[in-house]
Structure 1
Amino acid sequence: MIELIRTEARLTLREPIGIAFSLLLPLAIVLAFGLSASAAQPDPELDDQVPLDTILPSLALALAFGMAAIFMLPGFMADYRMRGVLRRLSTTPVHPAKLLAAQVVVQGVVALISVPLVLGLATALGMNLPEAPLALIAVILLGGAALFAVGTLVSAVAPDAKVGYVYSAAFFFPSLFFAGIWLPKEQMPGWLSRFGDFTPLGAFRESLENAFTGAGQDPLMLLTLAVTAVGAGTVAARVFRWE
């Protein structure tokens, strides 16, 4: 299994564009908005929150995990299915499930690498350290599990990489809106903002923000992440096609 993970890591490194989007795009967002003097000041339009302490790092981490889980993972697995790699592996001792697990590990590591990068850059720009670091770690693990379960589900049904990217985009870009990335949730109607809290990416980003501010976690949002992780993972295991 370790050798398989190494092989998948080498193959992933041959696709630097995907890694760049997963790691550099979140950093670019923090840098572009964090350099503004207003980013370190309470914003009345954001309920007097300091963007650099709350919204920017949570947004960047949600974006990094979403890219790795919902785009990179399905892209690799759908490409393997289209080229018959999974079908050939099913006749060998290396079961295709191990290949999926290896890809989850590799893309999970890419997503986790974004954490110190985002926090390091934001801290250099003046971000205060998270008020609830243990809660932040727990949310990252739970939210990561939920998003990768969704990515696994997309991998389960996409016949090839192109269709996989269409499926990923159909889920990911609306999720960005509901998570408050296109429009701050504080500027949404109350019902729309609350609806976004019960989407996987929305619950992840909002829970991250709560950890940064030290506010108590919303049990319903954590439940949303847990149900997504278990539900999407279970459905993916049932419908996954190896060819």
Structure 2
Amino acid sequence: MNKLIRTEAKLTLREPIGMAFSLLLPLGIVLAFGLSGSASEADPELDGQVPLDTVLPSLALALSFGMLAVFMLPGFMADYRMRGILRRLSTTPVHPARLLAAQVVVQFVIALISVPLVLGLAIALGMNTPEQPLMALVVIVLGGAALFAVGTLVSAVAPDAKVGYVYSAAFFFPSLFFAGIWLPKEQMPDWLSRFGDFTPLGAFRESLENAFAGTGQDPLMLLTLAVTAVLASTIAARVFRWE
């Protein structure tokens, strides 16, 4: 397994553009909005929260994890399938679940790199350190597991890279809306905001924001992440095909 992970890591590093974009775009968002003086002040439209302390870093991390899990991971796997790499691997003892796991590990590590980058930049701009750092870590691991499970499911069913990107976009872009990345959840109708709390990306971002703010966690959102991680990964392992 370690050899497979090293191999996938080398292949991923040969395609640095997508990886760099997934890391730099969230930093750009924090920098663009964090430089504003209002980002360090309590915003009544965000229920009195300080955007730089809660909303901006949680948004940036959700975006980074989402892009790597739902776009980068399926993109690599669909490209392997289209070029016949998976077909050739099918003649070896490598089980498809191990290949999926290796790619998840590689992309997850890259996503984790975004955490100190985003938080370091936000703190440099004046962010207060998270109120519940251990809970934030739990949410990052659990939310990351849920998003990457969705990515493995897309990887398992996409026949080629083009269709894979269609599947990824069909999940990712509506998820951005429900997670409050396009429109703050505080400005949504209550029923729509609550619905977004039970989407994987929405539950991840909201739970992370709660950890940064030091407010109580919603057990149902954490349960959403756990159930998504288990179900999506289990289905992906069962429906994955080499061709």
Which TM-score band (shorter chain)? over 0.9
- Determine the C-alpha separation between the residues in 2 that align with 1:131 and 1:12: 35
- Determine the C-alpha separation between the residues in 2 that align with 1:46 and 1:148: 29
Aligned to 1:61: 61
Does the aligned pair in 2 maintain the 1:21–1:67 contact within 8 Å?
A: no
Aligned-residue offset at 1:97: 2.8
- Determine the C-alpha separation between the residues in 2 that align with 1:130 and 1:23: 21
- Determine the C-alpha separation between the residues in 2 that align with 1:197 and 1:64: 18
Aligned to 1:219: 219
Q: What runs of 5+ residues in structure 1 fail to find an aligned partner?
A: none
Aligned to 1:36: 36
Aligned to 1:228: 228
Aligned-residue offset at 1:111: 0.3
Equivalent pairs, count? 243
* Secondary structure, aligned partner of 2:92: coil
CA gap 1:237/1:95 in 2 versus in 1, 3 angstroms: closer
Does the aligned pair in 1 maintain the 2:96–2:237 contact within 8 Å?
A: no
Map 1:109-148 → 2, pairs under 5 A: 109-148=109-148
- Determine the C-alpha separation between the residues in 2 that align with 1:52 and 1:234: 37
- Determine the C-alpha separation between the residues in 2 that align with 1:160 and 1:81: 6
Map 1:1-243 → 2, pairs under 5 A: 1-243=1-243
Does the aligned pair in 1 maintain the 2:73–2:151 contact within 8 Å?
A: yes
- Determine the C-alpha separation between the residues in 2 that align with 1:99 and 1:238: 13
Aligned-residue offset at 1:198: 0.4
* Secondary structure, aligned partner of 1:29: helix
TM-score scaled to structure 1, two decimals?
0.98
Deviates most, 15-24 or 33-42: 15-24
Aligned-residue offset at 1:94: 2.9
Aligned-residue offset at 1:166: 0.7
* Secondary structure, aligned partner of 2:79: helix
The list of structure 1 runs, each at least 4 consecutive aligned residues, that deviate by more than 4 angstroms after superposition, is none
- Determine the C-alpha separation between the residues in 1 that align with 2:96 and 2:177: 34
- Determine the C-alpha separation between the residues in 1 that align with 2:59 and 2:85: 35
- Determine the C-alpha separation between the residues in 2 that align with 1:235 and 1:96: 13
Superposed CA RMSD in Å reads: 0.9
- Determine the C-alpha separation between the residues in 2 that align with 1:95 and 1:152: 14
Aligned-residue offset at 1:15: 1.2
Aligned-residue offset at 1:99: 2.0
Q: Please list the CA deviations of residues 100-129 of structure 1 after superposition, one character each: whole Å capped at 9, or x if unmatched.
A: 211111100000000000000000000000
Give 1:85's aligned amino acid: I
Q: Please list the CA deviations of residues 76-98 of structure 1 after superposition, one character each: whole Å capped at 9, or x if unmatched.
A: 00111111111211111233332
Q: Please list the CA deviations of residues 134-193 of structure 1 after superposition, one character each: whole Å capped at 9, or x if unmatched.
A: 100000000000000000000010001111011000000000000000000000001000
Q: What runs of 5+ residues in structure 2 fail to find an aligned partner?
A: none
- Determine the C-alpha separation between the residues in 2 that align with 1:237 and 1:15: 25
* Secondary structure, aligned partner of 1:128: coil
- Determine the C-alpha separation between the residues in 2 that align with 1:94 and 1:187: 49
- Determine the C-alpha separation between the residues in 2 that align with 1:51 and 1:83: 45
- Determine the C-alpha separation between the residues in 1 that align with 2:219 and 2:97: 32
Identity %: 87
TM-score scaled to structure 2, two decimals?
0.98
